[in-house]
Structure 1
Amino acid sequence: MPRTPRLGRRAVKTLLVASFLAIALLALALNTVLAGGGDAGGPFDGRAMPTLYPDSVLPVVSRLTAPAERRADAAAHKWLASHPVRDDVAFANYAVGAVGRPPGGDAQQRELAQLHRIDSSRTAAGAATANWLELHGKKDVWKLFLKQYRESVPNAAGDQAKTTFKATYALAKTVVDAAKNKYARPSPYITDPSLHALTQSRFTKKYSYPSKHAVISFAEATYLTRLEPHRGSEYEWMADEISYSRLYAGGHYPSDISAGVFLGRMIADYEAGVQ
């Protein structure tokens, strides 16, 4: 029998984007209200998804992912081995301590130089993508993915997925707020006013460590991947896109993203292992 030709990575990514857009636009046309939402304006408040960033720029994020996730898995395993029963407050304190302090000195200067290089190649289209992902990358995108999953499984499984999704999101917000207050790292555009951040006029006293977008994205991407392993690369790609947008906007250092990957993965591990 003739062998079926295999699609390359670029073709697969193109199909994923096309299918995601088609579902989103269909939901918008039908005035679908996402789970947990109360608006009738569609999944993205009527704002169409823009063209996302090319794969060629995403290694800025993806090369941070594996080391951070290995650390997170080890830290979560250590916690769960001695704390098998849910205690969100105690776990949040542990996670905030485990992520550690952000780098300073020469390491921070190297990160600022990297952000300036990204800044120098910024375009109007790229800025629009960053703004869209800032608005919708923390929750709306992941709610749409969850909705797709719930439509493909029995009601009981879908309801359980929604409950865990919401618990993961809530814990991520708690951990992020505690970590930002503990480490109080000024956003890069505050440390270096010559960095032309997209958000600096709106957020003049904002802490950046860790990135909330990254924490939530990698927490939910990990959770959804465990529900649907065959879509794992799609979820990881979207988490990379969202996290890269934070660097592109000039609002976060790469180490803010790395810390977000660590905490997001750790939160998902906790939700998967706790009783």
Structure 2
Amino acid sequence: MTSIQPVPLPAALQVVSGVSDPIAAALATAQSDVVLFMSEHDEKDKWKIGQFALNHMGWPPNAAAEGAELLLLHAISGTRTPGGVDAAKFWASHGMVDVWEPYLKQYQLTHSPRQAAAAARLLHDTLDQVNTYTQIGKAAAGRKRPYVTDPTLEVAVDKPGNNPSYPSGHTSSAYAGAIVMSYLMPQLKDQFMTMALQIAYSRVYAGVHFPSDVAAGAKIAAEISTYLCATSHIDTMEAGVPVPQKPHGKGRGQARHRGHLAHSPRSAHAG
């Protein structure tokens, strides 16, 4: 696998299946949801994708499930290392936007001015829209942070104040950036999706998010980002992000989109 690291990254966290599996399931569901949206809407309706993703985000789990999540958070906190805490702090500071800019600049150096400008618009517009609907989702769900629900839970990074927990903003930004950059630079898809998972897991590892928060963040990001990539019409050499195809003969739109939603179980702004 080709790997480029214009930004020095921290040591990798060992992601537990209790976090990676719900994220992988959320990404798979997002793919199906985008297929549904594309079957029912023309590109002139693309502004509706954010509300659609919000409507399909789901709600936080019930008290029993949340209790199980708290047990997992305590178990994870017991595995923290100095290097792991450093990684969580790095992603807390740089995981939402900063980490994607060097890759965008790399893309721009090897593509036409038209493609370079379109790529910047795609990345920044996607991050903005994903953040907007993430914040709306937070306000609607109103979920307390895990360390507020359980004050005995130790936190490894600066606490995000009163910002609600569900969905995770760091995670939604991470997957938005990863999916857009995978679309633009498909040869680095595995690397980008691994980075997104590291960012998502770091929020659970640090004790500032429940696992279901990061799964919801990944889902809302995947639905918005995948659709915006599908309708961007940036001429890449090959499809990097699996963008769902519109079912033949269904829907009012005539546009045909290629590519796929990038998700990997092994890989697969307040935060």
Range into which the TM-score falls when normalised by the shorter chain: 0.7 to 0.9
Distance 1:99 1:237 in 2: 22
Distance 1:247 1:265 in 2: 19
Return the letter of the residue paired with 1:147. Answer: K
Identity %: 29
Partner of 1:150: 108
Q: Distance in 2 between matches of 1:166 and 1:119?
A: 34
Query: 1:50: how far off?
Result: 5.6
Q: 2:70 is aligned with what amino acid?
A: L
Tell whether the 8 Å contact from 2:154 to 2:207 is kept in structure 1 after alignment.
Answer: yes
Q: Which runs of 5+ in 1 are unaligned?
A: 1-11, 25-48
Gaps of 5+ in 2: 233-271
TM-aligned CA deviation for residue 89 of structure 1:
5.7
Q: What SS does structure 2 have at the residue aligned with 1:57?
A: coil
- 2-side partners of 1:148 and 1:60: how far apart? 35
Specify the SS of the correspondent of 1:101.
coil
Is 2:188 the partner of 1:231?
yes
Q: Distance in 1 between matches of 2:138 and 2:96?
A: 17
> What code does the residue aligned with 1:180 have?
K
CA distance in 1, matches of 2:88, 2:166: 18
Q: Aligned pair 1:209/2:178, yes or no?
A: no
Q: Distance in 2 between matches of 1:61 and 1:140?
A: 24
Question: Mean Cα displacement is larger for which, 64-73 or 250-259?
Answer: 64-73
Task: Provide closer, same or farther for how the CA distance between residues 184 and 92 of structure 1 changes in structure 2, counting only shifts above 3 A.
Answer: same
CA distance in 1 between counterparts of 2:80 and 2:136 reads 32
Relative to structure 1, is the Cα distance of residues 194 and 88 closer, same or farther in structure 2, using a 3 angstrom cutoff? Answer: farther
1:222 paired to 2:187? no
- Tell me which amino acid in the other structure corresponds to 2:115: A
- Higher deviation after alignment, 123-132 or 257-266: 123-132
CA, structure 1 residues 204+169, in 2 after alignment: closer, same or farther (shift >3 Å)? closer
**1:175 positional shift:** 0.8
Aligned match of 1:124: 82
1:153 is displaced (CA, Å) by 1.7
Of the three residues 53, 68, 74, the one matched with 2:12 is: 53
In 1, Cα distance between the equivalents of 2:200 and 2:42? 31
TM superposition shift of 1:78: 1.7
Please tell me whether residue 136 in structure 1 is matched to residue 94 in structure 2.
yes
Q: CA RMSD for the aligned pairs?
A: 2.1
1:41-84: CA deviation from partner (whole Å, max 9, x where unpaired): xxxxxxxx463224x43545432333212211121222232222
Q: Is the CA contact 2:15–2:198 (under 8 Å) kept in the aligned structure 1?
A: no
Larger radius of gyration: 1
- Matches of 2:202 and 2:176, distance apart in 1: 17
Q: How many residues align?
A: 232
Q: CA deviation at 1:212?
A: 0.7
| CA shift in 2, pair 1:273/1:249, >3 Å | same
Matched, 1:102 2:56: no
- Show the counterpart of 2:123: 165
Distance in 2 separating the partners of 1:70 and 1:121: 29
**Cα deviation code 1:122-153 (max 9, x no counterpart):** 22322221111111000011112211221222
Kept after mapping to 1: 8 A contact 2:53/2:220 = yes
What residue number does 1:36 align with?
A: none
